[in-house]
A and B are shown apart, each in its own frame.
Chain A
Amino acid sequence: MFNPRNFRVQRLASGNFKGDVVIATAGGTLNVGDVVYWSAAGTVNKSTTSANYAAFAGVVVAGPGTSNLFTADDVTNVVGTQAATVGQDVYVQINGIATVQTAAAVAVNAILQVATTAGQVDDPAVVAGQCVGIALAVAAGASVKIPMLIQPK
């Protein structure tokens, strides 16, 4: 049992990243920066099917592949490297701001979804219920790392 802690306002790290994380089971090989959805009980996975993200979970930030350490601001260039393989525990950031990778060019302040590349974000026509967040920077093409305000809706 726990006593809830008093908690007024918490500020993100100086780099404006981080948030709450949960530990889930990887439903496949997942990389740091992947946006993932709940695919089974306690399990997250990624997909190219945007509809799966109606059960959006968050952004992979760590796993055994990173020694369970996460690098939200990615100064050590960890985003895109393997975090976990199927069946392993993976850390998923569920709110705040996280670094993700783009599947194509993305406009700043665009509403992001998953489209052509599993786990990576794009800004196609908005489909309510499948959006994962808001781009806080522009991306000129695929595999660009950008900060995303996690905001499923």
Chain B
Amino acid sequence: MSYRATRFPYIALGLDAKEPDVPQLGGITAKFTAAADLKVGDVVFVSAAQTVNKSNTQANYATFAGVVVGGVSLLDGCVVIDDLNCIGAIVPSGTQALVQTSGIARVVADAAITVGTRISQGATTAGRVDDTAFTAGQMCGIALDAATNAGDVISMLIQAK
């Protein structure tokens, strides 16, 4: 099937770009098969054909895919990017995960994080981010909030580098 590209000049993330208090979250998602039980908020990498997984080995994130924001069969296929109560919801192994590949997403800190730092997978809990030493080719994004403790939820500008 052929498609004609739509005109698409500028976009503003968030519910209403005119309201400064609205979280600036959102982006483009793609479907991938979950290689294991994944959680909303996990950073994931491409692990096999059309498949993503998580790990506490940063080197695996050389093939960073994005952030899990939902599942095709989870919450009726809705994405949950700004409801902190939904961060951590399970996308079961073998099902279709919705992975946000660009924009700004909510992620979970693996330890304390300084705002503005480049972040990647942390060493402790798979799917969580930390601002450990910069390693070219393995970074997932930039921390837009600070985290004080492991488990804190912060916003990340998705930017593989």
Complex alpha-carbon distance, A139 and B74, angstroms:
32
Do B10 and A149 have beta carbons less than 8 Å apart? no
Partner of A4, one of B11, B50, B63, B79: B11
Chain B positions within 8 Å of A19 at CB level: 28
Complex alpha-carbon distance, A45 and B137, angstroms:
25
B25 beta carbon closer than 8 Å to chain A: yes
Chain A positions within 8 Å of B2 at CB level: 66, 69-71, 76, 78
Interfacial residues of chain A within 105-122, with CB under 8 A of chain B in the complex: 108-111
- B76 CB to closest chain A CB (Å) equals 13
- Interface size of A by Cβ–Cβ distance < 8 Å? 48
- B121 CB to closest chain A CB (Å) equals 15
Do A16 and B63 have beta carbons less than 8 Å apart? no
Complex alpha-carbon distance, A147 and B110, angstroms:
32
Given contacts A8-B13, A111-B137, 19 further A-B contacts (CB under 8 A): A8-B25, A8-B26, A8-B79, A9-B103, A10-B26, A12-B31, A19-B28, A21-B5, A69-B2, A69-B4, A76-B1, A97-B30, A110-B63, A111-B62, A126-B137, A128-B136, A128-B137, A151-B64, A153-B160
**Interface on A for B, CB 8 Å cutoff?**
2-12, 16, 18-21, 61-62, 66, 68-73, 75-76, 78, 91, 95-97, 108-111, 126, 128, 131, 134-138, 147, 149, 151, 153
